Structure 1
Amino acid sequence: MKTYQTEQIRNIALLGNTGSGKTSLAESMMYEGKVIDRKGTIAGKNTVSDYSEIEQQNQRSIFSTLLFTEFNNSKLNIIDTPGSDDFIGAVISSMYPVDLLVMVVNAQYGVEVGTEIFNRHAERLNKPMILAVNQLDHDKANFDVTFESIKQTFGKKVVIAQYPLNPGASFNSFIDVVTMKMYKFNEDGSREELPIPDSETDKANELHNALIEAAAENDESLMEKYFEQGYLTEDEMRSGLSTGIKNREIIPIFCVSAHKNVGTKRLMEFIINVGPKPNHSPMLDNDSSKPIACDASAPTSLFVFKSTVEPHIGEISYFRVMSGKVTEGMDLTNANNSTKERLSQLYVVAGKNRNKVTELVAGDIGATVKLKNTKTNHTLCGPGLDFTFANMMFPDPKFRTAVKPKNEAEVEKLSELLHRAHEEDPTILVEHSKELKQIIVSGQGEFHLNILKWQITNLHKLDIEYIPPRIPYRETITKVAQADYRHKKQSGGAGQFGEVHLVIEPYVEGAPDPVKYKVNGKEINLNIRGKEEINLEWGGKLVFYNCIVGGAIDARFMPAILKGIMEKMEEGPLTGSYARDIRVAVYDGKMHPVDSNEISFKLAGRNAFKNAFKEAGPKIMEPVYDVEVLVPSDRMGDVMSDLQNRRAIIMGMGSDKGFEIINAKVPLAELNRYSTTLSSLTSGRATYTMKFASYEQVPSDVQEKLLKAYQEQEEEE
């Protein structure tokens, strides 16, 4: 394969809801470019893109797939992306290395929830976009209704570049208002360029003028010419469209039937002629002290946007050449960890097919294998450069589960596989929770984590099971309480003796140090000799006061008392959860000249604290999350009702581009498998995000259930 120069390269990602036809469009593009001799189909399980076993089983894209095609002396790098929100990580990581997004919209359904989700991320990343209305050959295709839904979502930026003449089963022609031609496709696949029929002239002229106006608005000189002449040449219009698309001021609509290969060639022509070039697109954010130019003559830098491990090959790193050029056998430095890497082999990639090349220049996308210390989000630099590109940003997880191997001896192997899964997909988060005594895996949805389970079970032959995750409750107190405890043990020889008297109360930020307490009618005066303020790892504080006078307890035993209290803070008296936000004042006690030791006072402090805690109006706190649900209006009632059943507090409602938005605070304990329920309630048309908000007291009935469950668990153990 020849080396394409920067000006000859275009980089696109195909986005769209599941079922919109992205993979079929990618097949059509590769077929037009003669990269493949025949088009595969999803049903036939023989597409270049969806080549993994799990994708073929599910008949849908699950991973992003790098592809390429050659057309009109240009190279078109294509990334086919999943259409489900569960795999949003693969979609977002595909947006970073490309210069143009092609949003594929199903002509049967118009804008779907996936369209809206992906558009939000495109706006955040400020990525240029064009729209391809696909499946116009379907019986239920309706271009007009689809266009209305597009306008509602994308607003005034949308302009029609093409419209179909005969949408439906017989679809084979459309009017292109850029070139002002009618394109007709014959059964043998050939394309005819014909004059616009008289019956369509007025409509075509109107849309053509709207397109020219949109193009002229993005360039003052073009606007002046348009006002003076009343028209723009095709080159001038292309220039204006190119600027408008690059600045996200214009989003043109194209017509395709990927299945019939209708419109694909014309779409590719437009992308190559008008779409953003790599050297005319913004550089990714970076910490370089000097501007980085997408120029083949500049020093070399690469950004790794995806890493994966494949059988018989090992680790594959997918990268974009951000500047300079990279050659086979080149030595580069990983700027993230200062290690050296040799790119022993370079490939251009079409699914599982990797074609070896000797060189890739700035703006191109390729792959290499077996890098030792380079992962997703890493930057590789040539001599003279030492900077990193900013990490790709991914959404917070919204589905969590606990996982364990069926054979306890394989915990270490499971940990290794989960670590590798996170490196391949940063939206999979893994936590070895000391608090919950579980391995917690979080992802974007139940389907997302079920795919992970399938891979571990089928590809790595490790049987695992998902179990409900425990909830990280917190325990605290609401009033003052006093307790004392004597630890005494005599069993021949030296014994154990320690007695501790203490008072506990809730910690309040900014409150003055205590001087005296009145508990159960008894007044306790304090003389503070020492104070320790401990910021707890799990949030909140413990303030420990040494108020011992007259040598009742030797100072050398105070750390042991604090240690005993901390042990009980780590395993709260109510449910075994972490305790927080408590002040403890040790004001009296007793010791024995022979039998007192550190263990005695540690146990005395621990048990005195435990007894006082239970008398101090103890409360269980639960994690509460801010949840935002994006739902079609016709399913609003069902979703609201379900949220209220989950103890949600509705904070507000609104609407955005045809969808209703519900903002609520929901306890984490009530969000287990919520993504699955929401999908079921809305036929997959709704989505949500969740983010930790705060810890709040659980209702009394919930607290009673938790206390009873913990008591039963302790009795069993």
Structure 2
Amino acid sequence: MLDGLRKVNKSYPSLTTKVEESGEHVILGTGELYLDCVMHDLRKMYSEIDIKVADPVVTFCETVVETSSLKCFAETPNKKNKITMIAEPLEKGLAEDIENEVVQITWNRKKLGEFFQTKYDWDLLAARSIWAFGPDATGPNILVDDTLPSEVDKALLGSVKDSIVQGFQWGTREGPLCDELIRNVKFKILDAVVAQEPLHRGGGQIIPTARRVVYSAFLMATPRLMEPYYFVEVQAPADCVSAVYTVLARRRGHVTQDAPIPGSPLYTIKAFIPAIDSFGFETDLRTHTQGQAFSLSVFHHWQIVPGDPLDKSIVIRPLEPQPAPHLAREFMIKTRRRKGLSEDVSISKFFDDPMLLELAKQDVVLNYPM
């Protein structure tokens, strides 16, 4: 099977394969039909074995909707270094600009600074203190050095910059909610205490600590899940339009436009539908319209899933459809189960003891398990 997976990976240009912690092999593709073709080739051409396939799943993203409620810090295991950060949402449209390479981290500081100043109204200091995009050069998150030279030794901080950036990249690649990519978040370094001796500030000390601070700042900033949405265009005869609306409404879709096609008996219906609710959409559509409707779908944008994924008061009942405010919690728990993670986010993994004491002092109410 592994040999077969390697071969389909080479045959299909936009295919990705990976292995989860649970040992499952996951194939990522652009749509249902595309994955159907991949599985056909894998079974018939590349490996003469029976392959058991799970239900299709959707990748999510993790984001925040507010600024961190307090400054989050973490000390390195040797207690010689300390990093303090906060997280906040990025400006609207900035994540897309980074992904589409409208702005690039490889630009010189002056050009980068001018872009953020003119387009997003950043102040000059912040615009010229961008350390990295993450989780890679076109990742939709930003790490900013917001420390002041009067308070922090910039030379010492510069000596551990690469390690902090690596911790930030690692953290944004696998978020704390369900190991999915973090998206649309700005992480600001507010303070840093760095050991004088190079021996005490190696990557082994700094990288995991930077990742923990990224996670704690993220969890303190009202985290939310994001899901991908498809743009769907359906062509159907006028008498089938109501059936198309019914199918879309059952799948959390919303219509943005419907209009007759001039010179024909057909209507065009344009809508957005969550990717997770799009499985079997085309078959459903054909069934309800006696095969008269034809649809095309393409990825369009990411949107926040309604509800708080960390609200422990929500009970997820098996085999029952969940109301809208429970969806984020349901998606998070099911994704964590699929990946072989514990059912809930444990904050003791990401918060040091001094940080937990600080939370208790400030009377921050946490509904996450310790």
Using the TM superposition, give the Cα deviation of residue 577 of structure 1 relative to its aligned residue in structure 2, in angstroms.
Answer: 1.4
> Aligned to 1:464, what secondary structure does the other structure show?
coil
Letter in 1 for 2:341: E
Show the 5 A alignment for 1:700-715.
700=307, 701=325, 702-712=327-337, 713-715=340-342
Task: Please name the residue that 1:457 is paired with.
Answer: 43
Spell out, residue by residue over 1:315-348, the C-alpha distance to the aligned partner (whole angstroms, 9 max, x if none): xxxxxxxxxxxxxxxxxxxxxxxxxxxxxxxxxx
Using the TM superposition, give the Cα deviation of residue 710 of structure 1 relative to its aligned residue in structure 2, in angstroms.
Answer: 4.2
> Aligned to 1:694, what secondary structure does the other structure show?
strand
> Aligned to 2:15, what secondary structure does the other structure show?
strand
> Aligned to 1:480, what secondary structure does the other structure show?
coil
Using the TM superposition, give the Cα deviation of residue 417 of structure 1 relative to its aligned residue in structure 2, in angstroms.
Answer: 4.5
Q: Is the 8 A contact 2:234 2:268 kept in 1?
A: yes
> Aligned to 1:467, what secondary structure does the other structure show?
coil
Using the TM superposition, give the Cα deviation of residue 528 of structure 1 relative to its aligned residue in structure 2, in angstroms.
Answer: 9.3
Letter in 2 for 1:680: T
State whether structure 2 residue 126 is matched by structure 1 residue 542: no
State whether structure 2 residue 278 is matched by structure 1 residue 671: yes
Q: Is the 8 A contact 2:141 2:172 kept in 1?
A: no
Worse-matched range after superposition: 704-713 or 566-575: 704-713
Letter in 2 for 1:431: L
Measured in 1, the distance between the counterparts of 2:85 and 2:147 equals 9
Spell out, residue by residue over 1:363-415, the C-alpha distance to the aligned partner (whole angstroms, 9 max, x if none): xxxxxxxxxxxxxxxxxxxxxxxxxxxxxxxxxxxxxxxxxxxxxxx222233
Measured in 2, the distance between the counterparts of 1:511 and 1:550 equals 27
Q: Is the 8 A contact 2:133 2:139 kept in 1?
A: no
Q: Is the 8 A contact 1:627 1:665 kept in 2?
A: yes
Measured in 2, the distance between the counterparts of 1:431 and 1:451 equals 11
Task: Please name the residue that 1:250 is paired with.
Answer: none
Using the TM superposition, give the Cα deviation of residue 534 of structure 1 relative to its aligned residue in structure 2, in angstroms.
Answer: 2.2
Q: Is the 8 A contact 1:435 1:578 kept in 2?
A: no
> Aligned to 1:714, what secondary structure does the other structure show?
coil
The structure that is helix-richer by fraction is 2
Task: Please name the residue that 1:412 is paired with.
Answer: 3
Distance 1:658 1:538, change over 3 A: farther
Measured in 1, the distance between the counterparts of 2:286 and 2:59 equals 26
Using the TM superposition, give the Cα deviation of residue 661 of structure 1 relative to its aligned residue in structure 2, in angstroms.
Answer: 2.1
Spell out, residue by residue over 1:409-463, the C-alpha distance to the aligned partner (whole angstroms, 9 max, x if none): x22223325644x5xxxxxx64115598722345674xx8657645653455243
Task: Please name the residue that 1:505 is paired with.
Answer: 88
Measured in 2, the distance between the counterparts of 1:644 and 1:565 equals 40
Spell out, residue by residue over 1:93-145, the C-alpha distance to the aligned partner (whole angstroms, 9 max, x if none): xxxxxxxxxxxxxxxxxxxxxxxxxxxxxxxxxxxxxxxxxxxxxxxxxxxxx
Task: Please name the residue that 1:684 is paired with.
Answer: 291
> Aligned to 1:696, what secondary structure does the other structure show?
strand
State whether structure 2 residue 231 is matched by structure 1 residue 645: no
Task: Please name the residue that 1:606 is paired with.
Answer: 211
> Aligned to 1:715, what secondary structure does the other structure show?
coil
Distance 1:449 1:570, change over 3 A: closer
Select the residue among 41, 51, 58 that pairs with 1:471: 58
Measured in 2, the distance between the counterparts of 1:452 and 1:711 equals 26
Distance 1:514 1:582, change over 3 A: farther
Greater RCO structure (CA 8 Å; 6+ sep): 2
Task: Please name the residue that 1:590 is paired with.
Answer: 193
> Aligned to 2:58, what secondary structure does the other structure show?
coil
Q: Is the 8 A contact 2:5 2:17 kept in 1?
A: no
State whether structure 2 residue 264 is matched by structure 1 residue 661: no
Measured in 2, the distance between the counterparts of 1:636 and 1:547 equals 58
Using the TM superposition, give the Cα deviation of residue 555 of structure 1 relative to its aligned residue in structure 2, in angstroms.
Answer: 2.4
Distance 1:616 1:514, change over 3 A: farther
Measured in 1, the distance between the counterparts of 2:54 and 2:238 equals 34
Q: Is the 8 A contact 1:529 1:547 kept in 2?
A: no
Measured in 2, the distance between the counterparts of 1:453 and 1:528 equals 47
Measured in 1, the distance between the counterparts of 2:129 and 2:333 equals 39
Letter in 2 for 1:631: A
Structure 2 stretches lacking a partner, 5+ long: 95-118, 308-324, 345-370
State whether structure 2 residue 231 is matched by structure 1 residue 626: yes
Q: Is the 8 A contact 1:528 1:546 kept in 2?
A: no
Measured in 1, the distance between the counterparts of 2:123 and 2:177 equals 26
Spell out, residue by residue over 1:636-661, the C-alpha distance to the aligned partner (whole angstroms, 9 max, x if none): 32321121111111111122322232
Task: Please name the residue that 1:480 is paired with.
Answer: 67
Spell out, residue by residue over 1:666-714, the C-alpha distance to the aligned partner (whole angstroms, 9 max, x if none): 1111111212222222333221001222111111122121233345441
Letter in 2 for 1:715: S
Spell out, residue by residue over 1:209-254, the C-alpha distance to the aligned partner (whole angstroms, 9 max, x if none): xxxxxxxxxxxxxxxxxxxxxxxxxxxxxxxxxxxxxxxxxxxxxx
Select the residue among 181, 184, 192 that pairs with 1:581: 184
Distance 1:647 1:537, change over 3 A: farther
Measured in 2, the distance between the counterparts of 1:449 and 1:711 equals 23
Show the 5 A alignment for 1:127-206.
none
Letter in 2 for 1:534: F
Distance 1:432 1:550, change over 3 A: closer
Measured in 2, the distance between the counterparts of 1:623 and 1:715 equals 24
Select the residue among 605, 613, 616 that pairs with 2:221: 616
Distance 1:529 1:685, change over 3 A: closer
Measured in 2, the distance between the counterparts of 1:554 and 1:505 equals 22
Letter in 1 for 2:75: R
Task: Please name the residue that 1:51 is paired with.
Answer: none
Measured in 2, the distance between the counterparts of 1:689 and 1:554 equals 51
Spell out, residue by residue over 1:560-604, the C-alpha distance to the aligned partner (whole angstroms, 9 max, x if none): 112111111001122221112222222323344454322211122
The structure that is strand-richer by fraction is 1
Percent of matched pairs sharing the same residue = 19
